[in-house]
Structure 1
């Protein structure tokens, strides 16, 4: 049995499908099973990871756990990890972040600090572990959908920022291989997972336009305006501004190398942003 937290999220939903296709038994955790829309083959269980409920029953009989900080925050993730240890879970695959560098710089970056702290907790848990350090998710561009549908215009502080956006299905595929591993080859590995090519924000907007058959463009705004638009109840403006400024540093070059982890781990090439745009064309139309 494999327990998947954040099962209705972008990565989690893809992961549940992949694990089921491989013949694994899956327990998918979600706040609202009735609205989850997950495959009937999965055991879909109601779970509020931020509440005071005993989490141990959620992990009963499980061999492996996919742990996603986005499913409830760092405290919830730590509580799930503790429950996994008590329940006798053997392996955890953590959806971490490429912001983690394993250097003192991790303490100066809001996103890195959160994920590095959880990575330390996983290492200290005594469980077998694999870290999937993604970031620059292609799904982040879904935030542009309302403005693209309305006007075809995306407002951004750094249209020339370069990245290697990664398809959620590739992150799920890497996680699935690690969760299903019987050889030990992925134990203790921290995988930096990117898309297969460098594209700018302006190029991503153009690819979405091609996928939906409409003209799209970028209008430049200030960093302050961009941070304000990005922030929300679970993402403070200070952290948003830090991220916007980091994108500014990526105008000349990405802050990380393009990784071949997807192909090395899964055996198939990473999916391009153009493919992601085609897969999600309905979200922008």
Structure 2
């Protein structure tokens, strides 16, 4: 079985590659720059871009892990014509137009499909690394935003399971972590993992905009998510455990895996 992984050098894609290799699959990885991919030697590296896909990338491929990016309709058409039989997408729990377009293209293809929709990536907490390294403090607005960060390895494991095994066709898996935590609780979980007292200092949205250097469009997007999560906490979903047969990893477990990033 040959599986093509798009986004193979990304936060989730790298783990999808590793888990597929561990299961004995033949993995082909699509990357813009094979020389800098730093993927295992067993991986078949092919140069390409989802924005301008070529038919040759899909030849000999049985299954496809599809990142929602580029010209999804064209990618799906080429994959089907080349003989791909199953597509697992990576989109988002916060469904935007581009994600909906990807999912619709896959569903209309006539191929087997599974959608993986993660919520907040625990990896987003790496944005706190500089403040924690500098003084053990996190400064952001919306302290009481309650979120459910999901470990990138759990996202990858759900995707790999749907790629490798039957029984997932037509399913949409919306993923969360196993706990709903405020921002101070997330900071404390990181502190527990690295043996440091990490404090959270709440900023006003205006103060945070001035300090963060985040573009206005991104700042608006994040503030909207955080403000909504203060009144409507993100739900804890059982999907990871239902698919994998084990509990989802906690923020503390995630932080142990990334301890070096915070020290």
> Once structures 1 and 2 are overlaid, which stretch shifts more, 20-29 or 215-224?
215-224
Instruction: Name the TM-score, length of structure 1 as normaliser.
Output: 0.85
Summarize the Cα distance change of 1:91–1:282 in structure 2 as closer, same or farther, 3 Å threshold: same
Mapping 1:29-108, distance limit 5 Å: 29-50=30-51, 52=52, 54-69=53-68, 73=69, 75-100=70-95
Q: Which of residues 135, 145, 152 in structure 2 aligns to 1:151?
A: 135
Shift of 1:248: 1.2
Mapping 1:270-281, distance limit 5 Å: 270-281=248-259
Structure-1 residue corresponding to 2:164: 180
Summarize the Cα distance change of 1:226–1:135 in structure 2 as closer, same or farther, 3 Å threshold: farther
Structure-2 residue corresponding to 1:250: 229
Other structure's SS at 2:117 match: strand
Structure-2 residue corresponding to 1:282: 260
Summarize the Cα distance change of 1:81–1:155 in structure 2 as closer, same or farther, 3 Å threshold: farther
Shift of 1:82: 2.9
Q: Which of residues 246, 253, 257 in structure 2 aligns to 1:268?
A: 246
Summarize the Cα distance change of 1:230–1:80 in structure 2 as closer, same or farther, 3 Å threshold: farther
Other structure's SS at 2:66 match: strand
- Aligned-CA RMSD value: 1.9
Report Cα offsets for 1:86-145 as digits up to 9, x if no partner: 222111111111113xxxxxxxxxxx2221222112212222110011021100111111
CA distance in 2, matches of 1:14, 1:263: 18
Quick check: 1:223–1:245 contact (8 Å CA) kept in 2? no
CA distance in 2, matches of 1:30, 1:40: 15
Give structure 1 regions of 4+ aligned residues with deviation exceeding 6 angstroms: none
Quick check: 1:226–1:244 contact (8 Å CA) kept in 2? no
Q: Which of residues 97, 109, 113 in structure 2 aligns to 1:125?
A: 109
Structure-2 residue corresponding to 1:136: 120
Shift of 1:33: 2.0
Other structure's SS at 2:12 match: helix
CA distance in 2, matches of 1:119, 1:93: 10
1:192 corresponds to 2:202: no
Say how many residue pairs are matched: 261
Report Cα offsets for 1:122-170 as digits up to 9, x if no partner: 2122221100110211001111112222222222111211111100111
CA distance in 1, matches of 2:78, 2:209: 36
Summarize the Cα distance change of 1:44–1:245 in structure 2 as closer, same or farther, 3 Å threshold: same
CA distance in 2, matches of 1:7, 1:176: 13
Shift of 1:231: 4.2
CA distance in 2, matches of 1:77, 1:267: 31
Instruction: Name the TM-score, length of structure 2 as normaliser.
Output: 0.91
CA distance in 2, matches of 1:230, 1:23: 44
Shift of 1:283: 1.0
Summarize the Cα distance change of 1:2–1:226 in structure 2 as closer, same or farther, 3 Å threshold: farther
Quick check: 2:136–2:199 contact (8 Å CA) kept in 1? yes
> Once structures 1 and 2 are overlaid, which stretch shifts more, 244-253 or 187-196?
244-253
Summarize the Cα distance change of 1:227–1:30 in structure 2 as closer, same or farther, 3 Å threshold: farther
Summarize the Cα distance change of 1:218–1:18 in structure 2 as closer, same or farther, 3 Å threshold: same
